[in-house]
Amino acid sequence: MRTRLLALALVLSGCGATAISPQPASADIGSTRNARVVVERGPNAPELTYFAASMTEAELAEMKRSAPHLRIVAGLDRQDALRRAVEAQGADSSFASAEFLAAAKNLVWIQAHSAGVERWTSMPSLRDSKSITLTNMRGVHGPAIADHVFAMLLALTRDLPVHLAGRSSGAWLREGSGELEPCALEGKTLLVVGLGGIGTEIARRGHGFGMRVIATRRGDEPGPSYVERVGKPTDLLALLPEADVVALAVPLTPETEHMLDERAFSAMKQGSFLVNIARGRVVDQDALVEALRSKRLAGACLDVTDPEPLPADHPLWGFPNVVITPHVASNAEITDERRWALFRENLRRFDAGEPLLNVVDLKAGY
């Protein structure tokens, strides 16, 4: 046993497996899907300790009220956290090095503050652990990232780069760039690859623009009413020819790495757009460059690249029909609010011995 303070009880996977309340501040933040770990504590059990990378005095005071038996140690640097690792039953993922995991004999929970967790699921000491639960921020970033998807896409479909560039010289360029042909999204088909929390928000906005929305997802859950059809990942090549816009919103796993390769680009509709807000390595970047050079794609919107930062001499910078942003799609005050709401709720649940939200399947990688 890694800890004498805690007894871990398994519960069934799935939303209907156990009654869980209350919900976080916003009902659509967090998911009990894959909820498997309950932390049970007797009435005389000593307080639990959680290592937080940072927390304000106001946040600490709020947590003291909602999680009175939880001792939060905030502001440790990596060396201090490693030296005191044996104290922790829970910790932020920023501390989760191989050395920390080896030293943290009582650790049972790690909270990632991102949706993507490939950095941690690739660590054998965590991936193969029988006693440590990893939770993530699935569902937190969706609204801001989905807005960013359409900001980038509209920049291309409305030929905005040339007009933005003309501001410095006062240029009135009614003829546009000559590189991008303005078009409307109404009636176009949007394919969302990965209909999770972020993908669902992208689909919702696509529907709002009057687009026909189709999608893929790994699970068997039905799609929302505004998604016409939901296929499996194995259906991707069959769906690509239908799409005017392909938006990637999948986690990076061995199965999704280079999902968009030369074969996939060949299957895409001539003159379609690619939007990638997932991970750079989901796309074979050499194949993307060729698809742009050959005019297979009308354009690409990239908030993620491989590598990051993208080198200044990379050919992607030279395409006038490519919008690149530096992995900032989630930046917004709503993201910070939703992240805190989910983190606060998981800390409360940890203290109360309730199932945690957003438990990651360590084998699947998300």
- Beta-bridge partners for 72: 50
Domains and CATH numbers, the chain: 7-140+335-352 (3.40.50.720), 142-324 (3.40.50.720)
Residues 115/197, Cβ–Cβ less than 8 Å: yes
Say how many C-beta atoms besides its own lie within 10 A of residue 169's C-beta.
8
Residue 90 scores a pLDDT above 60: yes
**What's the predicted TM-score (pTM) here?**
0.85
The mean of the pLDDT values for the chain is 89
Positions annotated as catalytic residues are 279, 308, 327
| Both tokens assigned to 92 | 């932020």
pLDDT at 175: 87
- Is the pLDDT at 232 greater than 70? The verdict is yes
As a whole number of Å, the end-to-end CA separation of the chain is: 26
Q: How far apart are CA 44 and CA 41, in angstroms?
A: 8
**Percent composition of the chain: helix, strand, coil (DSSP 3-state, to 5):** 35, 15, 50
Q: What pLDDT, on a 0 to 100 scale, did the predictor assign at position 39?
A: 58
What's the average model confidence in pLDDT over 227-241? 98
| pLDDT of 30 over the 90 cut | no
Whole-number percent of the chain with pLDDT over 90: 79
| Residue 45: per-residue pLDDT | 57
* Cβ–Cβ < 8 Å for 116, 279: yes
Q: Average pLDDT of 182-189?
A: 97
95-113 core/surface letters (b: 16 or more CB in 10 A; e: else) = bbbeebbebbebbbbbbbe
**Overall average pLDDT of the 261-286 stretch:** 98
Model confidence pLDDT, tens digit, residues 96-136: 999 999 999 999 999 999 999 999 999 999 999 989 999 99
Supply the pLDDT for residue 17.
28
Average pLDDT over residues 28-43: 54
Judged by average pLDDT, the poorest of 6-10, 28-32, 230-234, 253-257 is 6-10
pLDDT at 42: 52
Residues 288-305 have a mean pLDDT of 98
Query: How many Å separate Cα 36 from the centre of its chain?
Result: 21
> Hey, which residues does 49 pair with through a beta bridge?
71
Eight-class DSSP state of 169: G
Over residues 285-303, the mean pLDDT reads: 98
Which percentage of the chain shows pLDDT scores above 70? Answer: 87
Residue 173: its pLDDT value, please? 87
The pLDDT, as a whole number, for residue 178 is 86
pLDDT of 25 reads 42
Give the pLDDT confidence score for residue 249 in this predicted structure. 98
**Higher pLDDT among residues 112 and 21, named by residue:** 112
Mean per-residue pLDDT for 131-145?
A: 95
Residue 37 has pLDDT above 90, yes or no: no
User: What is the mean pLDDT of the segment spanning 216-232?
Assistant: 95
Spatial strand order of the sheet with 212-216 comes to 229-231, 212-216, 189-193, 245-248, 272-276, 297-302, 322-324
**pLDDT over threshold 90, residue 292:** yes
Please tell me the least confidently modeled range out of 38-42, 43-47, 271-275, 296-300: 38-42
Query: What pLDDT does 89 receive?
Result: 96
Output the pLDDT for position 80.
Answer: 96
